[in-house]
Amino acid sequence: MKFGILINEGPFTHQASDSAYRFAEAVLARGHEIYRVFFYNDGVYNCNKLSEPQSDDRNLVALWSKLGTENGIDLVVCIAAALRRGIKDEVVAEGFRISGLGQLVEAGIEADRLVVFGD
């Protein structure tokens, strides 16, 4: 099965990003495919390589970056949401790319299921 994932919350203020990451790991472990992960609203904070979580906290930016790079997953950050939050290309972590909402629409069309995390 092919999944699309939409993340609407940041990595440090809500459980959604962590739950989405664990879901993505489980999907891959079961042999399924992730077509695209789309980061929208505060979810765009998941790509900010300048974030520095506490030493006892999970670094979701690094985890998403590694998961995307190692598994060839398209990690797309909404350009409008990113710019509203001061996120530009120079602060986007490896494996992520900035693009438009059309990428979310395409994920909904191409994936068998689009799973949403966060409000």
Q: Is 47 a catalytic residue?
A: no
CA distance 106 to 94: 22
Q: Is 105 helix (H, G, I), strand (E, B) or coil?
A: helix
Q: Of residues 78, 79, 93, 111, which has the active-site annotation?
A: 78
The catalytic residues are: 78
